[in-house]
Structure formats: structure tokens, C-alpha cells
Amino acid sequence: MHPHPGNGTIHAMTDPDFRCEALTKVYGSGETAVHALRGIDLELPGGEMTVILGHSGSGKSTLLNILGGLDSATSGRAFFRDHELTALNDSGLTRYRRDHVGFVFQFYNLVPSLTARENVALVTEIAAHPMRPEEALERVGLGPRMDHFPSQLSGGEQQRVAIARAIAKRPEVLLCDEPTGALDSRTGVTVLEALAAINTELGTTTVLITHNADIQRIAHRVLHMADGRIVSTVVNAERQLPSEIDW
């Protein structure tokens, strides 16, 4: 485990949490081949919140999936600290996801037959040093609604359950794929607030992908992707609070 200081300050670029070298990903083959990633070189420092922007088809989800150990690369290498993700087999990736990564998805992906608390318990039961599911839910402001089933929760609430589930195991990194994509602006803000709070309070390295350009203002670092490449990297001198943005 790599404990992080909880003050949210950015470390010097000593040990990047993520590092990619000439990463490519091709789906299919021959004429129908789709080049999702065309050589990504990247370093993401620990403790930062990074926002990856890009239109659909730009390769941002593919990159996130590879960083999260959900997908494999076609060529190139990807590292999480000293683990080479691109060298791990399925059980190695499972181990990596279980021990280090928390995920938040656009469509929440809650198990409909489990209550909020039980959805979080899904993770805490297999994690090494989890927080209590109740604590995780309280952190996202859902303490009073933890025994509700997903169908009894609003979209924003469901996404916050998903965030609670993702952070409950105290992951070193939190990967969010369009976490506000299915939400209206106001609900989206509550979700972003929860994510920002986690990043600040727990020092969790957070990577968030979105096609919503307004969200970039809450990040330490912003990557723009297009056509499978990173076209620009911007480090925000000043971050805004989620409540200050609107879309």
C-alpha cells in the first residue's frame, strides 16, 4: 500500500502513478480494423485529479479501460507504479483491480437486486483494508438512504452509490468513465463534489473522462484526446470548485 497524505497538495513529479509508452490498441483486423489508440505516451502523478476530454471515438474510454486493467493493449507498455499492466494475465489484472482501483461508470452499473449498502458491500467483502459500507455511503451523503434498492434512488443518488462503492476499499486510484454523462447539470455537480472531496480528503489519484469541457476546470491536469492520440496536456494553475461550474 502506498499511503497518500490527505492534504490534496500536488507532489513533485517524482513517482508518477501511471505511465504509458507508445500504447496502441486496435480492435478487429484487416479492413475493419479500428485504431482506438495510436501511440500514447503519458505520465500521471499520484494524488492528482486528471480530466481526459475528447469526443466519442477519441480513444479516451479505451485508455481508461487499459489503465484500469479492464482491457489489454495491442502494443506498447502501461505501468501502474512498478506494476507493468501490459504484462499481466487475467488473474494478475483481477488482482490489480481488486487491490488498487476503484471504478465509476456512466450508467452506475449497480446490481439492481442489492440495496445501496449491499452494493458497496460487494466491494468491501473482497478488499484488504476497506472502510465500512456505511462510512463510504456517508462520505457521498447517502447515509439516510443506504437500505434503498437502486430502483428507489434517483440517477444522482445511484451514481453516488457507485462512487461510494468505488472508494470503499480505499483504492489508490479512482477511474471514472463519464460519471455525469447520464445526469442533469445539478445532479452532476453533487457527483463531482463527491469525487473532488474524495480526491482531496483521501488523496486518491483520480482520472475522469468526459466530453463535457466545463468539467476540466475542477482538474489539476487536463488531457485532450482526438483520434487515438493525446493532442494537448494542460496543468490548471487554479482549480474551481464543482459548485462554481455549470453546464
Partner 1 sequence: MRALDKKLLRDFRRLWAQALAIALVMAAGVMTLLIGIGTYRALSETRTAYYQRYEFADLFARAGRTPNAVLGRVAAIDGVATAEGRIEAAAVLDIPGLSAPATGLVLSIPDAGEPLLNRLLLTQGRLPDPHAGGEVAVSGAFAEAHGFRPGDRIDALMNGARRVLTITGIALSPEFIYSVGAGELMPDDKRFGILWMAYSDVAPLYDMKGAFNSLTVKLTRNADRAAVVDRIDRELKPYGGRGAVGRDQQVSHAFLDAELTQLRGMSWILPPVFLGVAAFLVNITLARLVALEREQIGLLKAIGYRRATIAWHYVQFALLIAVVGTLIGSIAGGMLGRGMAALYQEFFKFPFLYFRDSPDIFAIGALAAGGAAVLGSLQAVSATLRLSPAVAMAAPAPPRFRRSILDAFGILKRLPQGLTMALRNMGRTRVRATLTVVGISLATGLLVAGLFSEDSVDFMIDATYFKTERQQASLGFARPIGASGLESVKRLPGVLSVEPVRTVPVEFRHGTRTRRGALTGKPLDADLSRVVDTDLEPVALPEAGVALSDKLAQLLGVKVGDRLEAEILDGRGVVLDLTVAQLVRQYIGLGAYMEIGALNRLLGEGDNANGANLMFDTLSTDDLYAAVKATPAVAGITLQRETLAMFRKTMAENIGISRGIYILLAGIIVFGVVYNSMRIQLSERARELASLRVLGFTRSEVARILLAEVAILTALAIPIGWLVGYGIALGVTEGMQSELYRIPFRIERPTYALAALIVLGAALLSAIVVRRRVHRLDLIAVLKTRD
Q: Does 90 bind partner 1 (CB under 8 A)?
A: yes
Instruction: Please classify residue 13 by burial: count the beta carbons closer than 10 Å to its beta carbon, then call 0-12 exposed, 13-18 middle and 19+ buried.
Output: exposed
Q: Does 94 bind partner 1 (CB under 8 A)?
A: yes
For partner 1, give the closer residue by CB, 11 or 145. Answer: 145
Q: Give the sheet arrangement for strand 75-80, strand by strand.
A: 34-45, 16-27, 75-80, 83-84
Residue of 13, 22, 75, 113 interacting with partner 1 (CB under 8 A) = 113
Q: Does 97 bind partner 1 (CB under 8 A)?
A: yes
| Distance in Å, CB of 43 to partner 1, minimum | 23
Q: Does 134 bind partner 1 (CB under 8 A)?
A: no
Size of the site for partner 1 (CB under 8 A): 30
Residues 179-208 that bind partner 1 (CB under 8 A): none
Which of 131, 189, 132, 129 minimizes the C-alpha distance to 159? 189
Q: Does 121 bind partner 1 (CB under 8 A)?
A: yes
Query: How far is 66 from 72, CA to CA, in rounded Å?
Result: 6
User: CA separation (Å) from 64 to 47, 90, 160, 174, 211?
Assistant: 17, 17, 20, 10, 14
Query: How far is 244 from 148, CA to CA, in rounded Å?
Result: 30
| Distance in Å, CB of 71 to partner 1, minimum | 4
Applying CB under 8 A, the residues found at the interface with partner 1 are 65, 68, 70-71, 90-91, 94-95, 97-99, 101-103, 105, 107, 109, 111, 113-114, 118-119, 121-123, 125-127, 165-166
